[in-house]
């Protein structure tokens, strides 16, 4: 059974550019969440999607956005990149909405974004 | 075995020792807790979970203890092996009627196991 797949694995962008990251959840999983991981702030929640609807959003500026498609694949977009956006972006999927998931999430290996 | 009373960012143990990693969670209303292991270059991997109606849960070589009175969670790893070297995170789920349903992660502890 394939795990959560995130593409690309590594990305280097210039300040001011925008970037789109992709996440394919485990087959059958309908909930996808995104987290930002940095050495200073740790793992911070970005947003959660379930059945193409954003159910929850973390405390990030509007430059961070996401969406989910009918096949449950999800993308997140960061516009007007800043140096501080350099981080590991993790996607996680679960069968249903978070509260019903007995094992929390299954995480992907992440996309390492470096902004220069 | 090695243990820490408060959260420390790093823990170094010898192979075969028992390890105890501590975590203080933030929300007294959280009712579900998870420990994750993150190896270099990978995303966090589920280790064990516990619900708030339990004090202890055991898995294979791992035990999680929950003390709701002091909002403290610990992960015990028996007979620690070099392959256990990783960063360990605790995470909590707020109760359904609390604002937000996202996992809240604690600060990680880097476990280093030497042979």
Sign of CA dihedral B21, B26, B28, B33: negative
Residues of A in contact with B108 (CB under 8 A): 42
Residue A103, pLDDT score: 57
Which of A25 and A97 is assigned the larger pLDDT?
A25
Taking residues B86-107, report their average pLDDT: 78
Q: Distance between CA atoms of B115 and B98, rounded to whole angstroms? A: 45
Work out the pLDDT band at B99, boundaries 50, 70, 90: very low
User: How confident is the model over B31-79, as pLDDT tens digits?
Assistant: 889 999 999 999 999 999 999 999 999 999 999 999 999 999 999 999 9
User: How confident is the model over A101-113, as pLDDT tens digits?
Assistant: 455 689 999 999 9
Residue A97, pLDDT score: 61
Q: Distance between CA atoms of A74 and A69, rounded to whole angstroms? A: 6
CB pair distance less than 8 Å for A43 and B42: no
Work out the pLDDT band at A95, boundaries 50, 70, 90: confident
Work out the pLDDT band at B96, boundaries 50, 70, 90: low
Residues of A in contact with B43 (CB under 8 A): 4, 90, 92, 107-110
**Dihedrals phi, psi of A110, to nearest 5 degrees:** 90, 165
Residue B103, pLDDT score: 84
- Cβ-contact B71, B25 below 8 angstroms: yes
pLDDT at B5 over 70: no
CB pair distance less than 8 Å for A110 and B43: yes
- Cβ-contact A53, A69 below 8 angstroms: no
- Give the other-Cβ count within 10 Å of B30's Cβ: 20
Of A56, A99, A109, the CB nearest to B43: A109
Work out the pLDDT band at B17, boundaries 50, 70, 90: very high
CB pair distance less than 8 Å for A109 and B41: yes
Taking residues A23-43, report their average pLDDT: 93
């Amino acid at each position: 059974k394939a795990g959560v797949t995130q593409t690309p694995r590594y990305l280097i962008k210039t300040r001011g550019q925008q970037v789109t990251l992709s996440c394919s959840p485990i087959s059958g999983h309908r909930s996808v969440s995104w987290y930002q991981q940095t050495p200073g702030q740790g793992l911070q929640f970005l947003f959660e999607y379930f059945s193409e609807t954003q159910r929850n959003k973390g405390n990030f500026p509007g430059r961070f956005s996401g969406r989910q498609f009918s096949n449950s694949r999800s993308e997140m977009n960061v516009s007007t990149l800043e140096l501080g956006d350099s981080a590991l972006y993790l996607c996680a999927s679960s069968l249903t909405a978070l509260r019903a998931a007995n094992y929390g999430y299954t995480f992907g290996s992440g996309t390492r974004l470096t902004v220069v | 075995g090695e243990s820490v009373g408060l959260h420390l960012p790093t823990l170094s143990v010898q192979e075969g020792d028992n390890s105890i990693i501590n975590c203080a969670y933030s929300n007294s209303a959280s009712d579900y807790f998870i420990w994750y292991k993150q190896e270099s270059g990978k995303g966090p991997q589920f280790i064990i979970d516990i619900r708030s109606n339990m004090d202890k849960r055991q898995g294979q070589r791992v035990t999680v203890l929950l003390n709701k009175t002091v909002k403290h969670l610990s992960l015990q790893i028996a007979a620690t092996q070099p392959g256990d070297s990783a960063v360990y995170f605790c995470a909590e789920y707020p109760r359904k009627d609390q604002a937000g349903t996202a996992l809240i992660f604690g600060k990680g502890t880097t476990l280093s196991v030497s042979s």
